Structure 1
Amino acid sequence: MSVSARDFGIVCGIMPTGTNNAITDVPGVKVGHVTIRKGNINTGVTAILPHDGNLFRKKVLAASESINGFGKSAGLVQINELGSLETPILLTNTLGVGTCVNALIKRAIAANADIGRTTSTVNAVVGECNDGPLNDIQAMAVTEADAFAALDNAASGAVAQGNVGAGTGMTCFGFKGGIGTSSRRIRLDGRDYHLGTLVLSNFGRKGDLTLPDGRRPVPDLPDSAEKGSIMMIMATDIPLEHRQLQRVIRRCGAGIARLGAFWGHGSGDIAIGFTTGVTIDHDQKSDLLAMQALNEDRIDQLFRAATESTQEAILNSLCAAENFTGRDGNSRRSLADWLRASPKE
C-alpha cells in the first residue's frame, strides 16, 4: 500500500473520499503501469481506461484544458472539438508520446477493422512530462510493448503511486514526484457519485511547495526556474455536458495553486477529463439523442471536488515516491522522508 498524505495527518479540503481515494473509485475506471528502470533509464507508461468495452465504439464524453501549454500531448484538439474520448489515455515521458500514439492506434485497429477504411480514423490520446533529469530521455526507451503491457495490466481498486509507470523519473517542487491519485464522493438525487483525479507530477519550483498546514518544505537542491509539467486526468460518473466538464476540469488548476505553484512559462499544465455518465455510440442511427446533464446549481460541488482531489493527488504522488537516484547520480528526496524528519510541532 502506498504511503499517502493522510498518513502524515495532511488532509485536503472537507469532502469525503471514495473507498480507495483513487480515480478508480469511479465505476469502470482502471489504471495500469509499466515501470522501466535499468541503469540511466528511469521511465515508464501509465494507462487510464474509462471502461472495459470497445472505447472506439462506445466513446465517453471528454474535455481538456491547457492551463499553461508548454507540452507535447497528443489528441487534445479533437477531444475539445468533438467532446469525446475514443481510446484509453496513456501517460509517458515527452519523447515517448509518438510510440504510445502508435500503440493506441494499433490496439484500436485490432478491435475495429473499419478504422481508416469505411469509418473515421482514431484519435489517440497521450499525455507527457519531461523526466530528463532522472532518466536518459534521449534513449527513447519506451516501446509499444510497454504501452500494450500498461493497457493489459490495468485494474480497478487501489492504485500504485509514486515512482511507478510514467512517474518513475519525475520531479515535483524539487522533491521526487510521480503518480498520485485521490477521489471525492458526491451525493446527488439520493445516489452516490464519484470524481477522481490522477496526476503525473513533474512541476513546481523548489521552495514554493506549501502544505495545507502552512509548512513549506524545501529540498536540498540548487535553485531553478519553474519549468516542469503536470498531467491531470479527471474522471467522474456524473452526467455532464461538454461545457460543464470543461468548467470542472479547469478547477484542477486551483488544486495546483493551493500548493504554491503558479504554472510558469516553461510548465506544461494540462487537464484531461471524462465522464462515464455520458457515452456516445460510434454507430448511432438516431438523428436526435436524449441526454442527461447536471443541474448547474449543483456544480460547485464538482468544482470543490476537482480542486481537493487534484491537490491531494499531487501530495500523494510526493509522499508515495521514495528517495530516488537516477541518471548520472542525480537524486531527489521523498517528501515523506522530509515529513518524518520534520514532524508538526
Structure 2
Amino acid sequence: MLVTMSLYRKLDFSCSIPIIFVFLVSLSISLSAQDKSRRVRIRELGYEIGIYSPGPYNAITDVEGVRVGHVTLNRGSDVRTGVTAVIPNSDMDTYSVVGAAFTIHGNGEMTGMSWTNDSGYIESPIMLTNTLSVGAVHEGVARHLKYISLPIVGECYDGYLNNIRGLHVRPEHAIEAIETATAGPVDEGCVGAGTGMRCYQFKSGIGTASRRIPKEQGGYVVGVLVNANGGRRHQLRIDGVPVGQEIPDLLPFQGKDGSFIIVIATDAPLTHRQLRQLCLRATHGLARTGTPSTMSSGEFVIAFSTANKIPRQTNNKVLSLRMLQNQNLDALYQAVIESTEEAIYNSMTMATTSVGKKERIVHAIPIDRLQKTMKKYGY
C-alpha cells in the first residue's frame, strides 16, 4: 500500500484502530487509482520516437501470431514479482521459429541461449522472471511443452521491492502465463516479470513497441518487448532530452544496476545470422535511453522471425527457407532501434509508484514534470 506506514506513525492514536485502518486503505487505494489514471504511453504524450510508424497496437503482438501473457504476484507488503511469457507462434509443439540471441553484458542469465545460437531455432516460449525464479519457470515450461526442449528464461533482479528469497514464483505461474497469453494490446508497467523492476531509478517494468516498414521496403513488422531494470537517474535521456538530470529527486537507494531483457519479433524472412544482426541493433536503442551497460548490469537480447516455420518432426532431409536479401536489412535495423528505445520509455511511463519490501518506495516518473522538461528543450 502506498505511504501507509509513514502516515500511520503520524496519526493521533486516540482514534480507533479500525477507523485508522479504513482511512489508510482508502487513501492508499485513492492514491493508487490517481497514479494509474495519469499513466500513459510515451507516444500518447506526443513524443514520436524515430521515423517509422508503429503497428496497430504499437506492441510486439503486431507481429502476427505472437502472444504475450503475464502472471503478476503483488500481495502483502513484500511480494512484488511475476512471470511474463512471449509465445513466438500459435503452435510451438509443432513448429519452431528461426532465432538468435546476443549478450550485451553478461552479469545475469538467460537459459537456452547457447542452443538457440547453435541450432538457429527457438523451440519454446520466451519467459521472463526474477533472478531467483529462473529454476521454477524453467520447470514450468518443461512441464508444459509436449516435446523435450531447452526452455528460454531471462531474469532481472527485483529484490529491492520484492522479497526475492521467498521464491514466490512457482512452476504453475509459468504455465499460467503461457496458457493465458493473448494477441492484441499488451499490459505494460508493473505487470508480470516487471512487477518489481525499476529503470533509471524510476518505477518501470514491461514495455513494448513496434514499427511497420514502408511498403516499398517490404512492409514488414518489427516488435520489441522489454523488461527494463537498469540505469542511473542522471543518465536518462528521452529522445535525446536529459530528463534524468532535470528530475534529480524522487530517488530510491541506488544499489547496483539491474538488467534489461529485450525480445525482438519480426515477420521478415530472416536467417539466424540476420536475426543476430537485429539483436546487435537493439544495443543502439538501449544506448539512446542513456545507459552505458555497467559492470553490475546484465543485458540480453533474443530475436525471432515468424516467416519460416521449422517442423519439429519431418521425414524431409532438406528444408527450404526464405531469406531477405542482405541489402534490404537497413530498414529493419532502424525499426529495432526505434522500437527498443520506445519500449523502454513505455516501461516507465506506464508504471505506477510502488511500495514493497521494508516499506521501500520507488516512484513512477512524474508525467507532468516529464512534459515540462520536454517543453523546455523544444518539444
Work out whether the TM-score is over 0.5: yes
| Runs of 5+ consecutive residues of structure 2 not aligned to the other structure | 1-36
- CA shift digits 1:205-226 (9 cap, x unpaired): 1211011151322343267476
CA distance in 1 between partners of 2:374 and 2:296 (Å): 33
* Greater mean deviation of Cα atoms: 95-104 or 180-189: 180-189
Higher strand share: 1
2:4 alignment partner in structure 1: none
Contact 2:98 2:120 in 1 (8 A): yes
2:303 alignment partner in structure 1: 273
1:71 alignment partner in structure 2: 108
2:375 alignment partner in structure 1: 344
- Give me the identity figure in percent: 38
Matched, 1:105 2:142: yes
- CA shift digits 1:161-200 (9 cap, x unpaired): 0000000000100000100000000145685321000000
Q: Map 1:5-154 to 2 at 5 A.
A: 5-38=42-75, 39-53=77-91, 55-108=92-145, 111-112=146-147, 121-154=148-181
1:206 alignment partner in structure 2: 233
State the shift of 1:45 in Å: 0.5
Q: Which amino acid is the alignment partner of residue 132 of structure 2?
A: L
Q: What TM-score do you get using the length of structure 1 for normalisation?
A: 0.92
* Greater mean deviation of Cα atoms: 189-198 or 200-209: 189-198
Contact 1:171 1:203 in 2 (8 A): yes
Q: Map 1:184-203 to 2 at 5 A.
A: 184-187=211-214, 192-203=219-230
- CA shift digits 1:272-308 (9 cap, x unpaired): 1111012211212222222211111111101111100
1:116 alignment partner in structure 2: none
Q: What TM-score do you get using the length of structure 2 for normalisation?
A: 0.84
Please state whether the residue corresponding to 1:277 is helix, strand or coil.
strand
Please state whether the residue corresponding to 2:220 is helix, strand or coil.
strand
- CA shift digits 1:259-280 (9 cap, x unpaired): 1110011111000111101221
Contact 1:206 1:223 in 2 (8 A): no
Q: Structure 1 pair 249/9, CA: closer, same or farther in 2 (3 Å)? A: same
Matched length: 334
Please state whether the residue corresponding to 1:240 is helix, strand or coil.
coil
Q: Map 1:249-268 to 2 at 5 A.
A: 249-268=279-298
CA distance in 2 between partners of 1:136 and 1:228 (Å): 16
Contact 2:240 2:288 in 1 (8 A): no
Q: Map 1:305-324 to 2 at 5 A.
A: 305-324=335-354
Contact 2:111 2:153 in 1 (8 A): yes
Q: Which amino acid is the alignment partner of residue 79 of structure 2?
A: I
Contact 1:32 1:154 in 2 (8 A): yes
Matched, 1:246 2:276: yes
Please state whether the residue corresponding to 1:66 is helix, strand or coil.
strand
CA distance in 2 between partners of 1:286 and 1:222 (Å): 57
State the shift of 1:341 in Å: 6.5
1:180 alignment partner in structure 2: 207
State the shift of 1:227 in Å: 2.1
Please state whether the residue corresponding to 1:207 is helix, strand or coil.
helix
Please state whether the residue corresponding to 2:233 is helix, strand or coil.
coil
Two-structure CA RMSD over aligned residues (Å): 1.8
Please state whether the residue corresponding to 2:114 is helix, strand or coil.
helix
Please state whether the residue corresponding to 2:138 is helix, strand or coil.
helix
Higher Rg of the two aligned structures: 2
CA distance in 2 between partners of 1:301 and 1:69 (Å): 28
2:312 alignment partner in structure 1: 282
State the shift of 1:250 in Å: 1.0
Q: Which amino acid is the alignment partner of residue 298 of structure 1?
A: N
| Runs of 5+ consecutive residues of structure 1 not aligned to the other structure | 113-120
1:166 alignment partner in structure 2: 193
Q: Which amino acid is the alignment partner of residue 159 of structure 1?
A: V
Please state whether the residue corresponding to 2:190 is helix, strand or coil.
coil
